[in-house]
Amino acid sequence: MENYLNVLEESLQKKIKVLNKIQDYNLKQQEIFQSDTVNMDEFDQYVEEKGELIEELNQLDNGFEILYANLSKQLQEDRARYAPQIRTLQELVKQVTDMSVTIQTQEARNKKLIEDYFRKSREEIKKGRRSSKAAYDYYKNMSNTNFVQPQFMDDKK
């Protein structure tokens, strides 16, 4: 039983390490969109690496839940015997929960930064299109100014 509790504790500690890495990637992504020049290749790389960490996190969650489901009845029956280990697990779960909330906040902040970046990009593209259209219209009008319609026409042949 103690071995299983140790495995649960190790799983939570690994989960904390993965969550720390995700927080680091979130900060890197935030820095990208707060800088003057946005490097989308670097951003894409961070998204891909963060996706791998999220996959690892999901695997750790699944393993933890399966093991805990098998042990929960035994832990309830002999709670006093495993009290110190249970408190440690509860503290680790609290850390994981706090980190998850922090990550959700970071993700929401990054989402807003990304939306602002793309909104500005779309506005610049629209502005560029308008300028291009105005220049084209001007060119078209000016090219027609050299052409003078015949003023007098001789209908007799």
Q: pLDDT digits over 132-151, tens only?
A: 888 888 777 777 665 556 66
> In the structure, what pLDDT confidence band is assigned to residue 107 with cuts at 50, 70 and 90?
very high
In this model, does residue 111 exceed pLDDT 60?
yes
Mean pLDDT on 61-90: 87
Task: Say what the pTM is.
Answer: 0.76
Structure-block tokens of residue 108 = 């929401």
In this model, does residue 70 exceed pLDDT 60?
yes
Q: How far apart are CA 15 and CA 47, in angstroms?
A: 19
Q: How far apart are CA 155 and CA 135, in angstroms?
A: 40
Q: How far apart are CA 72 and CA 70, in angstroms?
A: 6
DSSP characters for 45-68? HHHHHHHHHHHHHHHHHHHHHHHH
Query: Of all residues in the chain, what percent carry a pLDDT higher than 90?
Result: 52
Mean pLDDT on 54-78: 88
To 5 degrees, how large is the angle CA 68–CA 72–CA 73? Answer: 150
